[in-house]
């Protein structure tokens, strides 16, 4: 950039140099201005006019600006779009500045450190992540600055990069801290955007991280946090601390602890499965609310909603934990009155974690403290309820929940009941809380009475009834006399200002009083602010107790929500099976059922399921398109997932093992809108399943092989099923339109055929959506096409083509059979129904002229050929 001609631009440049990665909002009078490249970006993102400065001097500097009082909205918008913003304020009174007003960056806001209510989603976390890498491991840390949630993990072993990406997809941080050489890369079009922030290499160092963490937590060893021997995890966590310290004010009291976790602490759901099961977002084209999260989230607090989501992304694999939740849900599901009472009380509780976050980051105002106080008021009642319940989990929550009477008392005695939003206008502190403040207030109150006295006295002295003593910020206190009465004004009045209809005067007495009032007011405002900051800090030092209580409330809210769902939607308490058996009686799809019921669009048809680790390992589901195959597969996985979250499940009865992972692979055509090279994606996903599934996994394969030519697809599907059955032995549901796969049931023990039933009436079909044993007798593709409104003559023609194709099908299958001889332990029955020479021989026979003996001979010959 060219040289800067004015001192102002030199000042700007000096500051901008220190914040090269942020949009610099530079306070000029009543505006925040942006210059150069920043102005071009901001004008586009904010839809504001781009102008220029210094045009006349030849160097046009692009510039745009937003009014300071509306800045928060604009800043939020930039943050949501993934930008970092540095806010540069005037740090001295412009009236007192000798020449150029001093300016400094007072705040840096970034997507991962934002705490403003306009940026945050109340029911969701806002994570900042950091990645520290070495040759053998990856450390990964997540921190939500708005709530104090802080967790770290270390990824070792094979496929680290992929597993890192998986975890990032699950957690969806808004901002990612990376070393300069880090290889992680997110697609720029991810939604919401993920901002990548590069920090210097040393910031991610293990020793540096350990030192920051030990300092912060005031401990000599990190063993208590499970971090001992995990230098990369410490490095990643340290980078977060480093960055937060650099960009934020405040004590970070609310980061009261940190949790070390590992992937297999919970039921693993990879990103494909998150998407395919529509846990957080519907597949492309689906309605927004068609997700498991939306269907289950009936929490009454944001605390609970966030907890529910984290339970959904990380369901438990610990039977005791799941059982404790289920027992708690059971108690409240049958006790409607207690449940609704608890939910009603919880409803009055605000987002304690986020209030605490603002307290800790020193952005909380007096209203935040009052909201905290009002929320705490409900705690005794919540705890009384908890004490009256039987389930062990409620007793634990009762223990963990602290009524925080001291915090409540402090706020009640100190904070004014109707404070302003700003901290600079006074009225923050209750009378009686602080003696000096009380006496300052007394001075200004008395003086105001004195002023009223002066007005009365001067009216009498001058005989001007309309005489007024007034105040404005430019002239201070003055006496106003209307033009008509001007001749009555005494000579000791000093003229200050002439208006059209009146004259304003001052007197020495008034001046003196004014100084006293203003002085007292200024002092009392400063004092109030100081007292407030002190109180806020005192509240902040109780962060650990407040967070622990908030977490207990969150859990209670989720359990009450599960109880509500159990009662309202008729869910049952699932049982554990310890022999790997999976039994679902009258199971339903929680999301489709909920939507169908709510929109009164008919009924959801329940279905049964049976799997075990020996005779019923893998189910092949056939049936027409639209028959309900995919729904049946998904509902099975959702039921398993819900149980491991600790929820009742949509079924009449269910008995399930605890799974370690759920895998899903949904066929290309069901997923076309994602617009990638679909067959390749499909095979990559299938490969992952075959390589990582264990006998304790649940696998859903929906129409695999669809992305390629029919016979390739069939062959692949066949081989995949064999592998899953022979090697993996995971409980598997396989939906397919390859009818040939149903033959596997006879070939391999452990495979069972099921089909979705339809009823034929004439050339019409009705979907019964009942899953029944056995294979579908035909595919009904043409009937479905007819239902979809294909013109009648096209349907007719399709029938003809199909008939011919079916007649010649065996030759095509025959061709497939010639390609390769399969391992002996598995027969390839479907590919060798008839030998092609036999077929040709039969085709040549002229039946009209065939004599009985010739026929017998031919038959013997053919038989010989088949046997050879
Ligand atoms: N058991 C059921 N009860 C009611 N509607 C169902 C049921 N199963 C599926 N559906 C509905 O039928 C449609 C087709 O289901 P889907 O599972 O996609 O079929 P397929 O995978 O066999 O093509 C979906 O709109 C779904 O909502
Ligand atoms: Mg389907």
Dump the DSSP string for 321-336.
HHHHHHHHHHHHHH-H
Give distance in angstroms: CA of 171 to centre of ligand 2.
28
- Residue 635 Cβ inside 6 Å of ligand 1? The answer reads no
State the Cα–Cα distance between residues 365 and 422, nearest whole angstrom.
7
Give distance in angstroms: CA of 626 to centre of ligand 2.
7
State the Cα–Cα distance between residues 309 and 298, nearest whole angstrom.
12
Q: Are strands 268-269 and 661-666 parallel, antiparallel or unpaired?
A: parallel
Residue 671: nearest ligand to its CA? 2
Write down the pLDDT at residue 814.
45
Q: Of ligand 1's atoms, which has the minimum distance to the CA of residue 702?
A: 21
Write down the pLDDT at residue 4.
58
State the Cα–Cα distance between residues 280 and 755, nearest whole angstrom.
29
Q: Hey, whose CA ends up nearest to atom 14 of ligand 1? A: 626
Q: 695 — phi, psi (to 5°)?
A: -60, -15
Token pair, residue 223, equals 């063993």
- Residue 630 Cβ inside 6 Å of ligand 1? The answer reads yes
Question: What is the helix (H) or strand (E) element at residue 25, kind and residue range?
Answer: strand 23-28
Write down the pLDDT at residue 699.
97
Roughly what angle, to the nearest 10 degrees, separates helices 392-400 and 319-334? 100
State the Cα–Cα distance between residues 128 and 244, nearest whole angstrom.
9
Q: Report mean pLDDT in 10-residue bins for the chain, 868 residues.
A: 71 93 94 95 94 73 92 93 94 80 91 88 94 94 96 92 90 94 74 87 96 94 91 96 89 91 92 92 82 97 97 97 98 96 97 95 94 97 97 98 97 96 90 94 86 91 90 86 90 89 91 87 92 97 96 98 97 96 97 91 93 95 90 97 98 97 76 58 86 95 76 86 92 90 90 90 82 81 78 82 70 42 41 60 79 83 75
In sequence order, what are the beta bridge partners of 505? 479, 495
State the Cα–Cα distance between residues 856 and 720, nearest whole angstrom.
43
Q: Of ligand 1's atoms, which has the minimum distance to the CA of residue 631?
A: 17
State the Cα–Cα distance between residues 142 and 683, nearest whole angstrom.
32
Contacts for 193 with CB less than 8 Å, ≥ 6 apart: 81, 82, 111, 174
Roughly what angle, to the nearest 10 degrees, separates helices 366-376 and 405-414? 140
Q: Of ligand 1's atoms, which has the minimum distance to the CA of residue 588?
A: 1
Token pair, residue 501, equals 């209809």
State the Cα–Cα distance between residues 634 and 513, nearest whole angstrom.
78
Q: Is 661 exposed, middle or buried (0-12, 13-18, 19+ CB in 10 A)?
A: buried
Q: Work out the number of other CB atoms within 10 angstroms of the CB of residue 747.
A: 14
Write down the pLDDT at residue 57.
65
Give distance in angstroms: CA of 604 to centre of ligand 1.
9
Domains and CATH numbers, the chain: 7-109 (3.40.1170.10), 128-265 (3.30.420.110), 297-404+542-568 (1.10.1420.10), 435-536 (1.10.1420.10), 575-778 (3.40.50.300), 834-867 (no CATH)
- Residue 769 Cβ inside 6 Å of ligand 1? The answer reads yes
Give distance in angstroms: CA of 702 to centre of ligand 2.
7
Write down the pLDDT at residue 707.
64
- Residue 628 Cβ inside 6 Å of ligand 1? The answer reads yes
Which is nearest to 815 in space by CA: 720, 709, 737?
Answer: 709
Pocket test for ligand 1, best of 621, 628, 650 (most atoms within 8 A of CB): 628
Residue listed under structure tokens 């099976």 = 577
Contacts for 714 with CB less than 8 Å, ≥ 6 apart: 705, 738, 740, 741, 816
Write down the pLDDT at residue 835.
62
Reading phi first (left if > 0) and then psi (alpha if -120 to 50, else beta), residue 702 is in beta
Q: Of ligand 1's atoms, which has the minimum distance to the CA of residue 634?
A: 17
Tell me if 672 sits within 8 A of 350, measured CB to CB.
Answer: no
């Amino acid at each position: 950039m060219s040289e800067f001609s004015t001192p102002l631009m030199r000042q700007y440049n000096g500051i901008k140099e220190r914040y090269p990665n942020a949009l610099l909002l530079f306070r000029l009078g009543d505006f925040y201005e942006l210059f150069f490249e920043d102005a071009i970006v901001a004008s586009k993102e904010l839809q504001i006019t781009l102008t220029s400065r210094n045009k006349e001097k030849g160097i046009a500097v692009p510039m745009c600006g937003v009014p300071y009082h509306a800045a928060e909205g604009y800043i939020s918008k930039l943050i949501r779009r993934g930008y970092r913003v540095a806010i540069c304020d005037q740090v001295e009174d412009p009236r007192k500045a000798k020449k150029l007003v001093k300016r400094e960056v007072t705040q840096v806001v970034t997507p991962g450190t934002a705490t403003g209510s306009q940026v945050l989603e109340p029911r969701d976390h806002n994570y900042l992540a950091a990645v520290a890498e070495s040759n053998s491991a990856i450390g990964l840390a997540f921190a939500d600055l708005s709530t104090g949630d802080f967790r770290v993990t270390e990824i070792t072993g094979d496929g680290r990069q992929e597993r890192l990406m998986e975890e990032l997809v699950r957690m969806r941080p808004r901002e990612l801290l990376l070393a300069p050489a880090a290889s992680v890369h997110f697609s720029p079009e991810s939604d919401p955007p993920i901002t990548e922030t590069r920090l210097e290499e040393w910031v991610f160092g293990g020793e540096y991280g350990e030192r920051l963490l030990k300092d912060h937590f005031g401990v000599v060893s990190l063993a208590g946090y499970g971090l001992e021997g995990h230098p990369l995890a410490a490095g990643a966590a340290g980078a977060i601390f480093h960055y937060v310290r650099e960009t934020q004010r405040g004590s970070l009291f609310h980061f009261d602890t940190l949790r070390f976790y590992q992937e297999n602490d919970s039921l693993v759901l990879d990103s494909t499965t998150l998407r395919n099961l529509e846990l957080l977002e519907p597949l492309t084209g689906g309605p927004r609310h068609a997700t498991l999260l939306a269907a289950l989230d009936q929490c009454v607090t944001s605390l609970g909603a966030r907890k529910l989501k984290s339970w959904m992304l990380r369901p438990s694999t610990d039977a005791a934990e799941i059982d404790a939740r289920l027992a708690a849900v059971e108690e409240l599901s049958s006790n409607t009155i207690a449940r609704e009472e608890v939910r009603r009380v919880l409803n009055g509780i605000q987002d304690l974690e986020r209030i605490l976050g603002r307290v800790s980051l020193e952005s909380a105002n007096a209203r935040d403290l009052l909201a905290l106080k009002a929320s705490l008021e409900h705690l005794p009642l919540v705890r009384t309820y908890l004490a009256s319940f039987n389930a062990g989990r409620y007793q634990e929550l009762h223990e963990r929940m602290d009524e925080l009477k001291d915090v409540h008392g402090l706020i009640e005695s100190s904070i004014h009941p109707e404070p302003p939003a700003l901290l600079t206008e006074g009225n923050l502190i209750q009378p009686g809380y602080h003696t000096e403040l009380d006496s300052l207030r007394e001075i200004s109150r008395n003086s105001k009475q004195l002023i009223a006295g002066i007005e009365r006295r001067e009216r009498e002295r001058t005989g001007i009834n309309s005489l007024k003593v007034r105040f404005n910020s430019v002239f201070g206190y003055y006496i106003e006399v209307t033009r008509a009465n001007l001749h009555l004004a005494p000579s000791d009045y000093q003229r200050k200002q002439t208006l059209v209809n009146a004259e304003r005067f001052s007197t020495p007495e008034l001046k003196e009083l004014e100084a006293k009032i203003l002085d007292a007011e200024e002092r009392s405002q400063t004092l109030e602010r100081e007292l407030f900051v002190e109180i806020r800090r005192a509240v902040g030092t109780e962060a650990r107790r407040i967070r622990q209580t908030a977490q207990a409330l969150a859990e209670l809210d989720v359990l009450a929500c599960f109880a509500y769902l159990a009662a309202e939607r008729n869910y049952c308490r699932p049982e554990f099976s310890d022999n790997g058996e999976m039994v679902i009686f009258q199971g339903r799809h929680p999301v489709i059922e909920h939507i169908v019921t709510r929109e009164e669009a008919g009924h959801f048809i329940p279905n049964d399921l049976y799997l075990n680790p020996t005779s019923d390992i893998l189910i092949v589901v056939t049936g027409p398109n639209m028959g309900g195959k995919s729904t049946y597969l998904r509902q099975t996985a959702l039921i398993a997932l819900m149980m491991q979250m600790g929820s009742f499940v949509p079924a009449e009865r269910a008995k399930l093992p605890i799974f370690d992972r759920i895998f899903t692979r949904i066929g290309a055509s069901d997923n076309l809108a994602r617009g990638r090279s679909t067959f390749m994606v499909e095979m990559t996903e299938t490969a992952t399943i075959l390589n990582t599934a264990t006998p304790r996994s649940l696998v859903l394969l929906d129409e695999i092989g669809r992305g390629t030519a029919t016979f390739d697809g069939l062959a692949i599907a066949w081989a995949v099923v064999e592998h899953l059955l022979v090697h993996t032995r995971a409980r598997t549901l396989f939906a397919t339109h390859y009818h040939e796969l149903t033959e596997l049931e006879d070939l391999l023990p452990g495979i069972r055929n099921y089909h979705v039933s339809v009823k034929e009436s004439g050339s019409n079909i009705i979907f019964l959506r009942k899953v029944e044993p056995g294979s579908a007798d035909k595919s009904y593709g043409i009937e479905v096409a007819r239902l979809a409104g294909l013109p009648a003559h096209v349907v007719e023609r399709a029938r003809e083509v199909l008939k011919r194709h079916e007649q010649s099908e065996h030759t095509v299958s025959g061709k497939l059979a010639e390609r390769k001889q399969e391992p002996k332990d598995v027969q390839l029955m479907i590919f060798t129904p008839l030998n092609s020479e036999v077929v040709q021989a039969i085709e040549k026979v002229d039946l009209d002229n065939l004599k009985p003996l010739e026929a017998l001979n031919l038959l013997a010959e053919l038989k010989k050929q088949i046997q050879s």
